[in-house]
């Protein structure tokens, strides 16, 4: 199959390439979103843990005083 034949798909180019295109977009989104999600979760948990640590320090200090 030549390159132009490949893209033309016997006249069905729109149908074939839309199918593969939409499928790729949906599957890529589902694949990539947990990667970003996990990075965000880790970032947010770091901040949260630091806040909790600080609160614990504060209450420990105020108990000593």
Q: Which is nearer to another protein, 35 or 65 (CB)?
A: 35
Number of residues written out for the chain: 65
Q: Which is nearer to another protein, 43 or 58 (CB)?
A: 43
**DSSP assignment letter at 2:** -
Q: Which is nearer to another protein, 10 or 64 (CB)?
A: 10
Q: How far is the CB of 46 from another protein (least distance, A)?
A: 4
Residue pair 37/43 in contact (Cβ under 8 Å)? The answer is no
Q: How far is the CB of 50 from another protein (least distance, A)?
A: 9
Report the C-alpha gap between 55 and 65 in whole angstroms. 15
Residue pair 44/51 in contact (Cβ under 8 Å)? The answer is no
Which residues of the shown chain bind another protein in the complex (CB under 8 A)? 1, 6, 9-12, 15-16, 18-20, 22-23, 26-27, 29-31, 34-35, 37-39, 41-43, 45-46, 48-49
């Amino acid at each position: 199959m030549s390159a132009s034949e490949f893209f033309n798909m016997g006249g069905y180019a729109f149908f074939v390439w839309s199918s593969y295109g939409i499928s790729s977009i949906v599957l890529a989104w589902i694949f990539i979103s947990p990667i970003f999600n996990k990075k965000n979760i880790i970032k947010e948990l770091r901040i949260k843990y630091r806040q909790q640590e600080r609160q614990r320090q504060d209450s420990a200090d105020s108990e000593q005083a």
